[in-house]
């Protein structure tokens, strides 16, 4: 028996990296997962991996910031699995620059992705969650649902060159704590995980600064210098960056029954790092 048997989980940005590990972790505990990625290929691969392992997963590919995506995402869970039990707002990337050089396009792309998209998804899910909670109350049942929003230590302490990202990740903490108060009556636990330095394709060493990813036609620089990567050994008390599986574990903890009395909290997964 898994800790999440019978639960339906939605995970944004789950075709790669941390999101993929979250989806696989929840599925390993029995959750039925709606996998999302900007690109259909990686999302389909994760769906196949879960289904081939004996789990249940479906795909809802697309940009989480697009008009109508949130409703389509929610509808996929309801139509495929009958409801919503877990929402993990994980999708994201960074598009950095110092404030005098950040364009309006950069600002809104990152704020919309990290703050508005989670808001849209949670707003779309509210009617489903509230109706289920009312029916359960009428039947004398208590069912806890879980929301885990992904923040960052940049949202706690700021980070030079990331005014857009830091502002959005700080905002998600306010959204988390507000919904914990609004949705407590539905027995929904709403928490956040703030990641520190996690090794992904976005944070791999890039000696010449030429590493990029393509985001719908935008070429976004990613990666960190080998010098910064080396500095993590002294900056982080545990002496190393975290793995995607370790990041996923911190999220999964907040979806388990053991967390049924934890809400409105922010967990830092950063190896002990504090700015």
Determine the angle formed by the axes of helices 69-81 and 117-138, rounding to 10 degrees: 40
User: What pLDDT sits at residue 134?
Assistant: 97
Residue entry with tokens 């620089």: 221
186 annotated active-site: no
- What would the two tokens of residue 133 be? 């909670």
Phi first, then psi: give them for residue 117, nearest 5 degrees: -60, -45
| Residue 220 CA to its chain's centroid (Å) | 20
DSSP state of 3: T
User: What pLDDT sits at residue 205?
Assistant: 59
Lay out the sheet containing 8-11: strands in order across: 56-59, 32-35, 8-11, 86-89, 145-152, 188-195, 266-269
- Tens digit of pLDDT at every position of the chain (275 positions): 899 999 999 999 999 999 999 999 999 999 999 999 999 999 999 999 999 999 999 999 999 999 999 999 999 999 999 999 999 999 999 999 999 999 999 999 999 999 999 999 999 999 999 999 999 999 999 999 999 999 999 999 999 999 999 999 999 999 999 999 999 999 999 999 999 999 987 777 565 656 777 787 777 777 676 777 788 888 999 999 999 999 999 999 999 999 999 999 999 999 999 87
Phi first, then psi: give them for residue 12, nearest 5 degrees: -80, 155
- With helix as H, strand as E and coil as C, how does 86-154 read? EEEECCCCCCCECHHHCCHHHHHHHHHHHHHHHHHHHHHHHHHHHHHHHHHHHCCCCCCEEEEEEEEHH
User: What pLDDT sits at residue 180?
Assistant: 98
pTM, to two decimals? 0.94
Within 13 Å and on the Cβ side, how many CA atoms surround 45? 11
- Choose, from 108, 165, 186, 256, the residue flagged as catalytic: 165
């Amino acid at each position: 028996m898994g800790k999440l048997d019978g639960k339906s989980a939605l995970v944004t940005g789950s075709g790669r990296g941390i999101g993929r590990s979250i989806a696989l972790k929840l599925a390993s505990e029995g959750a039925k997962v709606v996998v999302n990625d900007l690109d259909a290929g990686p999302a389909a691969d994760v769906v196949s991996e879960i289904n081939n392992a004996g789990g249940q997963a479906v795909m809802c590919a697309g940009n989480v910031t697009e008009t109508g995506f949130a409703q389509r995402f929610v509808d996929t869970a309801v139509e495929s699995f009958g409801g919503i039990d877990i929402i993990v707002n994980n999708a994201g990337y960074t598009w950095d620059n110092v404030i005098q050089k950040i364009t309006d396009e950069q600002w809104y792309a990152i704020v919309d992705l990290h703050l508005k998209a989670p808001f849209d998804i949670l707003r779309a899910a509210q009617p489903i969650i509230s109706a289920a909670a009312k029916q359960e109350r009428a039947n004398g049942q208590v069912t806890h649902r879980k929301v885990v929003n992904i923040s960052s230590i940049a949202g706690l302490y700021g980070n030079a060159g990331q005014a857009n990202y830091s502002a959005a990740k700080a905002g998600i903490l306010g959204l988390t704590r507000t919904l914990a108060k609004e949705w407590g009556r539905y027995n929904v636990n709403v928490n956040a995980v703030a990641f520190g330095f996690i090794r992904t394709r976005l944070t791999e060493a890039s000696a010449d600064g030429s590493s990029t990813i393509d985001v719908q036609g935008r070429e976004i620089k990613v990666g960190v210098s080998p010098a910064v990567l080396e500095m993590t050994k002294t900056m982080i008390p545990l002496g190393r960056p975290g793995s995607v599986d370790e990041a996923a574990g911190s999220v999964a903890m907040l979806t388990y029954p053991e967390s049924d009395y934890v809400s409105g909290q922010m967990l830092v997964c950063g190896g002990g790092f504090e700015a």
